[in-house]
Amino acid sequence: MTLQIASPKLQIPWRLLVHGDASAFDNMATDEAILRHVVEGRSPCTLRFYGWTPSAVSLGYFQSVAQEVDEAACHAQGVDVVRRLTGGGAVYHDQAGEITYSLTLPESYPGVPTKVLDSYESLCRGLVLGFARLGLAAQFQPINDILVNGKKISGNAQTRRFGGILQHGTLLCDVNPTVMFSLLKVPNEKIRDKLIAGVTERVTSIRRELGAVDRTAVVQAMIAGFTEALDIELTPGELSASEKALAAQLKEERYANREWIYKR
C-alpha cells in the first residue's frame, strides 16, 4: 500500500531535522513538542533523526515500569527509563546501536489511512525504500515491524493526538540482547538464556546484515526513502524557539517526571 498523495502540486512543506544524541527525556519531549506545533500549523510536517545518550529503556504508554524494567540494573548501568507517548513494547535504545526517526504530520494529511493499522504500512514504506538503498531487501510485517531476511530490523509506534500523527521507530544498527535482557524483567531466570537466544534468532541489525554501519549513510538512505515514499521534498531546518521551549516544559512536567514515568 502506498501513500497516494493527491497531487505533487500540493507542495506541502516538509522539514528535515538531523539531530545528534540527547537524553530519553529530551527526545520524547521534543517529539511531542513537534507534534503539537505541526497540528497547530506552527511547524511544517517533520522528519527527524536522533540518538540516545545515555542509553535508555523506553516503555510503551500502557506498560508498567515495575512489570517491564529492572530498575536497579538500569540505575547501575546509567540507563534512563522513560514512558513514551506511543503504545507498544519496551525498547532498549543503545547509545551506539540505534538511530531513531520520528515522522510528524497532521491527521488530515492527504492519503493517510484513517485506520492506524493500515497507516503503519504506508508510513513505513519510507523505511523499506531506505533499507533498499542500503542494499537490504526489507519488508513491512504487521503490526508494526520491518524485517530483513525474516528478522526484525525496525520497530515502530504511532500515536494520533491533538489532530496529528506522530510515528517514531528504531533503526537497529547493532543489537546486544544480553545487555537488553540485563535491563528488562524476565518472567523467570531460568528462561533468560532462552529469551536472549530468541532475540538473536528473531532480530537483526544493519551491522549483522552489512558487516559495518555508516550512520550518516543510513540517515541519508532513509531521507531518500521517505522522500520517494511520500513524494515530498524535505528542507533541512531547525527546531523553532517555541518548540524548544515547549519541549523543555514537557520534559519537566511529563517525560522526566516520576508521576508520568510511573503512571501505570
Partner 1 sequence: MPTANGFTSADYKVAGGKLLRVRLHIVEGVIQAITLTGDFFMHPEEAIEDLEARLTGVPLTAAALRAQVDAFFAADVQVIGADAADIVHIILMAATS
* Contacts to partner 1 by CB under 8 A: 60-64, 67, 85-90, 115-117, 143-144, 157-161, 187, 264
Q: Which is nearer to partner 1, 161 or 215 (CB)?
A: 161
| Triad 142, 148, 149: Cα angle to 5° | 110
Separation in Å, CA 128 to CA 8, 18, 71, 209: 21, 19, 34, 15
Between CA 78 and CA 14 the distance in angstroms is 36
In the numeric block, which cell numbers belong to residue 117?
Answer: 493499522
Beta partners for 172?
98
Q: Compute the least distance from the CB of residue 211 to partner 1, in Å.
A: 31
Cβ distance to partner 1 smaller for residue 148 or 157 = 157
- Chain-centroid distance, C-alpha 151: 18
Q: Minimum distance between the CB of residue 167 and partner 1, rounded to whole angstroms?
A: 11
Which is closer to partner 1, CB of 57 or CB of 85? 85
Contact between residue 90 and residue 184 where contact means Cβ atoms under 8 Å apart: yes
Distance of closest approach, residue 189 Cβ to partner 1, in angstroms = 17
Q: Minimum distance between the CB of residue 262 and partner 1, rounded to whole angstroms?
A: 12
CA distance 6 to 232: 12
- Shortest distance, CB of residue 225 to partner 1, whole angstroms? 24
Closest CB to partner 1 among 67 and 216?
A: 67
Question: Which CB sits closer to partner 1, 75 or 264?
Answer: 264
